[in-house]
Amino acid sequence: MELRSSPPAAGALPLNHLLLQFSYLQALDFLTTIAFLLNGVREANPVVRAAMNLSPDPVVGLLAVKVAGILLGLCCWWLGKGRLLFRMNMFFALVVAWNLLALIAGSAR
């Protein structure tokens, strides 16, 4: 008979999983932002908006911000900051959910 331990607490996920989730959420945020741009919605984050305005193409500026975000996630992973990475995942999960709700609400009008 094999004894199984209970699943890890939400904040105790292995760092590799947290980093993978973070990268996935960055990709989803990128895609929902592109959907906003295609529907004529302006970027709300002033840092991202500035990067998009300063680059030759807004998509390149957005991609640069997302790459920088993933690099910050990699730093958290490398330094063993799992709790911070978990919190960033929760934040970006809310951002992506908000983006999707706003897109749905905007298309219903």
pTM: predicted TM-score of the whole model, two decimal places: 0.82
Residue 102 structure tokens: 């706003």
Q: So what's the pLDDT on residue 13?
A: 67
Which residues lie below 8 Å from residue 74, measured CB to CB, with a gap of 6+? 19
Task: Name which residue leads in pLDDT, 6 or 106.
Answer: 106
pLDDT digits (tens, 9 = 90+) for 44-83: 899 999 999 999 999 999 999 999 999 999 999 999 999 9
Report the mean per-residue pLDDT for the chain: 88
Structural domain boundaries of the chain? 14-108
